[in-house]
Amino acid sequence: MKLIKILVGTILLLSFGYLLKFILEMEEIEHQETFESSIPVDSNQSIDKNISQFIDTTSTESTIGSTTHIGDYKAEFQDGKLKVFTLDNLLLEQSISTKGFQYLLSSDLNTDELPEFWLFFKENKGVKVLGFQLKKAKLIPLNFPEVKGRQRIGYIGNDSLYLEKGLLVRDFKFSGDANSDFPEGFRKCFYAFGLDKSFVLKKTLDYEKR
């Protein structure tokens, strides 16, 4: 009888040992799977090259000038010519006679995967914005709206053009607008650009300081 108890005890002890070993092995496998799933992934691999490069030209960290990039395209404005490159190969160039060039921006505001290029000029006291959309190796002119109506009240210039959260923003200095909360300041006009190539004024905000 005593021998039987010893055998039963031994069997139970061995079974417990095997069970403990099995549990430890399962925990190790789960730990490995958790570790593998937490390995950081290079976020650059998921970036769509057609995503617009939104540049805020009022930011001191932004690099603006005569060259801009978007996806596989590069555009530059030199010697009165707008040149567009794809993979560093010249795709086209167009002469522009407007004087007083300031800077060049690129975007895809209406997300149709056709890049837009915006040229900002200052001529005497006036400001001019020229827009183009690249389509089938041609530059299609875009009619950027002039400041008019309620937005133009008190307009005195000092314009700036930049891109912010998918909208094209034109801001300028104003003074003497009785409808504004400020006797003088800066007014921002936010424009959306649609698939039908039209512009819609989304909102206008006045600020005391830029």
Instruction: Enumerate the domain spans of the chain.
Output: 49-207
Q: What is the pLDDT of residue 65?
A: 86
For 147-201, write each residue's pLDDT tens digit.
Answer: 999 999 999 998 999 999 999 999 999 999 999 999 999 999 999 999 999 999 9
Instruction: Output the pTM of the full model.
Output: 0.67
pLDDT at 76: 97
Which pairs from 61-68 meet CB under 8 Å and 24+ separation?
Answer: 64/103, 64/104, 64/105, 65/103, 65/104, 66/101, 66/103, 66/104, 67/104, 68/104, 68/105, 68/106, 68/117
pLDDT one-digit tens code per residue, 22-78: 555 544 434 333 322 222 222 222 222 232 333 333 333 334 589 999 999 999 999
Segment 3-22 mean pLDDT:
58
Whether residue 96 is predicted with pLDDT greater than 90 in this model: the reply is yes
Q: Tell me which of 64 and 202 has the higher pLDDT.
A: 202
What is the arithmetic mean of pLDDT over 91-106? 95
